[in-house]
Amino acid sequence: MIPTLTEGQQATLTCTAPGLCSGSVPEITWTWRGAGGTESYITGNSTNFKTENLAAFTQRHISTLTFNASSEHHNTSITCKINFTCGKTTEETLTVNVKYMKEIIIIGNSTLREGDVLNLTCSVESFPPSVIVWSNLGSNTKLHKDTGSATLVFHNVTPEHSGQYICTVKHLDTTPTSYVDVTVTPACVKHCGSYSTVLPWIVAGVSLTLNVFCIIYIWFLWNSRKKVNLHQEERTYMSLQKADVSSDYDVIAHHIN
């Protein structure tokens, strides 16, 4: 029988050949079969072999396998195979269970806009399966609880959903935690942000239009004033060239002739 092992701790397995065997010493080998079904020898281990004399012609052969248990050994099959010199073989295969827990993983978008869906998943690979609890920082209220993997979902989030969310994993006598900071941006910020980007271009366009209008207006006034001055100069010149001789001058001119 193989008890449940613990990751990181040293484990020793013992394989004993049938007690009523005498003669030459058998060969005892250890192999293990992983999840993919591939058989290989256990790495990072040490073996020890000894023979015990039970009676004058009776011996018992014992082989021990020592290794550090890890998560890769969980749910694998370990086989002890005994080969006697006479060609007879026997073997025993048992399944190994190892208590372990890997790193906590949190996936999901933590930066949201108002009205979005908050979807956070906390999971951890472990044996036995861990209990996972979601909660808020500073609150004892359990938001969600599940085994192995827990998904926290909030629809139509608001800025009030912002804060730190805690994933607590309960595995055997340990309770490791992991955190994620969630930020929910108000909806107005989204529009204001777009306005703040477009507004300078709007102001520049209006300013350019007003400047062009003013230039055209000034040019129109300048042309109008120039035409008025030209007409006045022409009338003055014409008035100077006009002969204005009264009847008195006609009389004087007549007498002189």
pLDDT at 24: 74
Starting at the edge strand that comes first in sequence, how are the strands of the sheet with 39-40 ordered? 39-40, 27-33, 76-83, 89-96
Is 126 in contact with 147 (CB distance < 8 Å)?
A: no
Is pLDDT of 180 > 80? yes
Dihedral sign computed on CA atoms, order 22, 24, 25, 29: negative
Task: Give per-residue pLDDT as tens, 119-130.
Answer: 999 999 999 999
Starting at the edge strand that comes first in sequence, how are the strands of the sheet with 111-113 ordered? 111-113, 177-185, 163-170, 131-136, 142-147
- Would the pTM of this model clear 0.85, i.e. be above it? no
pLDDT band at 186 (very low <50, low <70, confident <90, very high): very high
Task: Give per-residue pLDDT as tens, 194-245.
Answer: 555 666 777 777 788 888 778 887 877 777 776 655 555 555 545 545 555 5
Distance in angstroms (rounded) separating the CA atoms of residues 102 and 104: 7
Looking at domain 5-100, does it have CATH number 3.30.70.20? no
Task: Give per-residue pLDDT as tens, 80-99.
Answer: 998 887 788 889 999 999 99
Can you say whether residue 163 is alpha, beta or left, with left for phi > 0 and alpha for psi between -120 and 50 degrees?
A: left
**CATH architecture group of domain 105-186:** Sandwich (2.60)
| Residue reference for tokens 């004399």 | 53
Is pLDDT of 116 > 90? yes
User: Where is mean pLDDT largest: 46-55, 120-129, 187-196?
Assistant: 120-129
| Residue reference for tokens 């035409």 | 227
pLDDT at 252: 46
pLDDT at 209: 85
Sorted by where each begins, the domain ranges of the chain are: 5-100, 105-186
Is 130 in contact with 147 (CB distance < 8 Å)?
A: yes
Q: What is the DSSP track for 33-68?
A: E-TT--EEPPSSEEEEEEEEE-SSS-EEEEEEEEEE
Instruction: Centre a 10 Å sphere on the Cβ of residue 126 and count the other Cβ atoms it contains.
Output: 21
Is pLDDT of 2 > 50? yes
Distance in angstroms (rounded) separating the CA atoms of residues 155 and 194: 25
Give me the mean pLDDT over the 143-160 stretch: 94
Q: What length is written for the chain?
A: 257
Is pLDDT of 253 > 50? no
